[in-house]
Amino acid sequence: MKKKILTGDRPTGPLHIGHYVGSLENRIKLQDEYDCYFIIADFQVLTDHLRETERTEHLIKHVLLDWLSVGINPEKSTFFIQSRISEIAELTMLFSMMVSLSRLQRNPTVKEEFRRSGLKSISYGFIGYPVSQAADILIIRPDLVPVGEDQLPHVEQTREIARTFNELFSNVFPIPEPLLGTVSRLPGLDGNKMGKSTNNAIFLSDTAEVVRNKIKGAITDPARIRVNDKGHPEICNVFRYHVAFNNPESAEIETKCKKGRLGCIGCKKIVSDRINEFLEPIRIKRAYYEAKPATIKEAIQDGTKKVRLISNETINLVRDAMHFDYKGLFEEEKIAA
């Protein structure tokens, strides 16, 4: 039996090369070793994009295309949509009784995400989304959750909820372990965190020309004014892209930059070419899947159906454990798959 893992994305925009380096690359490897479940967390988008629900379906299709075009394989992995698994909402409600408000208020990731959202006030759903995330995870009773360091508080919260439930009722949930990625994050073109909507990302769906133009505008070492000024690649975003996408040449680039023997324009041209070489097979695969919308539908429909079966099983276990099965009132009723 392969161990089960769950991870996923919010459909808030196209995925970028930072997502690839930070998680997608890892997922492609994981799908051979583990029984992988990938969730599209559409309800979670409501926390900070409540007024943009008309775009959600389009953005879900975009995420699916991104996954398929980088090589996440629905034959090996299971894709599903959060809102199509109603048991997640039931589990969220039950779990919400097991977490104190002060515990949620202390979560550093929620605080940071709220700060970055620019919202004036925090909703009940926003502050409580780690509870909903715990339900997303625990509904399939996984062994592991692949995460970046900033998501560790959420996994810890999920583990706490699973432990609390098991202690209060019965051992329904395994305590999932975090599976930390080894690759650091790529900065955006402006040096800040690369984001879907911060105008500083190179998207997996960008054309070669768009990539070239974006990199032309990337911020580099501000101390380099003249072409032969000595550079500081350790503080340059473009150099981080070399490390990620042009690794064999990165030591030479570093030396040349430090000695003032490579100008930023030439350096950017090299890295644009390497990123475009990396993206080209992804573009070809994207075009293939764009021409086959039935394949995309099948991937998400089959995966969601499979997760519905597991979710029914989980919620029946939860109801039994909590004495909410009411066998004396509804003898025949088990949630039908």
User: Which residues sit at the interface with ligand SF4, rule CB under 6 A?
Assistant: 220-221, 224, 231, 233, 236, 238-239, 257, 262, 264, 267-268
Query: Which secondary-structure segment (H or E) carries 271?
Result: helix 264-290
| Cβ proximity to ligand SF4, 33 vs 249, nearer residue | 249
What minimum distance in Å lies between the beta carbon of 221 and ligand SF4?
Answer: 4
156 or 249, CB closer to ligand SF4? 249
Q: How far is the CB of 29 from ligand SF4 (least distance, A)?
A: 29
CB of 198 to ligand SF4, least distance (A): 21
- Residue 80 has phi, psi (to 5 degrees) of -155, 165
Whole-angstrom distance, CA of residue 310 vs CA of residue 305:
9
Considering the complex, state which of residue 92 and residue 237 has its C-beta at the smaller distance from ligand SF4: 237
Closer by beta carbon to ligand SF4, 128 or else 187: 187
Tokens of 10: 């919010």
Residue 140 to residues 1, 3, 192, 319, 337: CA-CA distances in angstroms? Answer: 15, 12, 35, 15, 14
**CB nearer to ligand SF4: pick between 30 and 262:** 262
Q: Which residue has the tokens 């499979």?
A: 306
By beta-carbon proximity to ligand SF4, the closer residue of 176 and 231 is 231
Pairwise CA distance, residues 310 & 159, whole Å: 19
Sheet containing 78-81: order of strands:
78-81, 35-40, 4-9, 144-147, 177-180
Tell me how far, at minimum, the Cβ of 260 lies from ligand SF4, in Å.
9
CB of 210 to ligand SF4, least distance (A): 19
Nearer to ligand SF4 by Cβ, of 5 and 236: the residue is 236
- Which residue has 């392969």 as its token pair? 2
Minimum Å gap between C-beta 223 and ligand SF4 is 8
Q: List b or e across 313-335, with b for residues whose CB sees 16 or more CB atoms inside 10 angstroms.
A: bbbbbbbebeeebeeeeeeeeee
Of 171 and 192, the one with the shorter C-beta distance to ligand SF4 is 192
CB of 271 within 8 A of CB of 246?
yes
Contacts 24+ apart (CB under 8 A), 119-127: 119/48, 123/47, 123/50, 125/46, 125/47, 126/47, 126/48, 127/101
Q: How far is the CB of 186 from ligand SF4 (least distance, A)?
A: 14
Query: Is the Cβ of residue 233 or residue 303 nearer to ligand SF4 in the bound state?
Result: 233
Answer for the pair 68, 38: CB distance below 8 angstroms, yes or no. Answer: no
Structure tokens at 176: 């999932």
Nearest approach in angstroms of CB 230 to ligand SF4 is: 9
Instruction: Please state the closest distance from residue 220 (CB atom) to ligand SF4, in A.
Output: 4
Query: In whole angstroms, how far apart are CA 259 and each of 233, 235, 255?
Result: 11, 15, 6
